[in-house]
Structure 1
Amino acid sequence: MAEIKKDYLTVSTYNAILHRQLQRDMNQLLIKDKLPVNITEMYLMVLILESQPISQRRASTTLAVDEGLMTRMVKHLAALGLIHKEAAATDKRVKELTLTEDGEKLLDYGLSKVNEWWESIEPDLKDIDINNLGRELFDISKVVLSDRHQTALGTDRTDSELEK
């Protein structure tokens, strides 16, 4: 029996489309509701909630955002009183992030909007087990985030090497 070819491109493409559509719609809802955060900051707040405390560097790596953007998001969320940033007890160079009570309240409201978005398309997802899909994507994410699969960003490559 011939082996079935795995269609990684389709998984990657449609995962990206789903993510971008959700991101666009959620940013519009957050603006409409006059919330002071965007969806990427909401993702950061979810990550903090699930990992409290989490180092700023780990959050940057996990969300795949550069450290400059992470610094701007942390400053913004801290200025709004939604997160705390403080030096770790074991290493003062490590900055740990936690949610404030106001951050948890805003996150609860924002996540209710995410649920409403999903519930609006749910009737058209007849044969899809969303919980199983979520578990499978979580398992894939764990593998991708493991040190063994982190892609080193070599900055020592020349432009001619990048063009190949």
Structure 2
Amino acid sequence: MAEIKKDYLTVSTYNAILHRQLQRDMNQLLIKDKLPVNITEMYLMILILESQPISQRRASTTLAVDEGLMTRMVKHLAALGLIHKEAAATDKRVKELTLTEDGEKLLDYGLSKVNAWWDSIEPDLKDIDINNLGRELFDISKVVLSDRHQTALGTDRTDSEMKK
């Protein structure tokens, strides 16, 4: 019996399409509701809520955003009073992030918008077990985020190598 080919490209492509559509629609809703955050900052707030405290570096790695963008997001959310940033008790170089009460309130409201977005498409998802799909994507994410599967960025190249 021939082995069935795994269609990783389809999973990757349609996961990206779904993510980008949700991101676009959510950013438009957040602007319409005059909320001071974007969807990427909401993802950070969700990660903080689920992992409190989480180091800023770990949050950057998990969300796959560069450290410069992460720094700007943290400064913005801290200035709005939505998160706290403190040095870890065990290592002062490590910056830990936690949500404030105001951050939790804003996140609750934002997540209600995410749920409404999903509710609007749910009637067209007739035979899809969204909870099982979510669990499977979570399991895939855990594997991708494990140290064993992190891709080295090759930042040790010199400027002259990169100009070639």
- Shift of residue 156, structure 1, vs aligned partner: 3.4
Between the aligned partners of 2:83 and 2:161, the Cα distance in structure 1 is 42
- Shift of residue 114, structure 1, vs aligned partner: 0.2
What percent of counterpart residues are identical? 97
Q: Which runs of 5+ in 2 are unaligned?
A: none
Aligned length: 164
| CA displacement 1:26-71 (0-9 Å, x = unmatched) | 0000000000000000000000000000000000000000000000
Aligned residue for 1:41, secondary structure, equals helix
| CA displacement 1:50-100 (0-9 Å, x = unmatched) | 000000000000000000000000000000000000000011000000000
Between the aligned partners of 2:75 and 2:30, the Cα distance in structure 1 is 19
RMSD: 1.9
Aligned residue for 1:152, secondary structure, equals coil
Between the aligned partners of 1:12 and 1:163, the Cα distance in structure 2 is 31
TM-score for both structures, normalised by structure 1: 0.96
Equivalence for 1:41: 41
Between the aligned partners of 2:15 and 2:151, the Cα distance in structure 1 is 20
- Shift of residue 104, structure 1, vs aligned partner: 0.1
- Shift of residue 15, structure 1, vs aligned partner: 0.3
Q: How has the CA–CA distance of structure 1 residues 124 and 151 changed in structure 2, closer, same or farther, with 3 Å as cutoff?
A: same
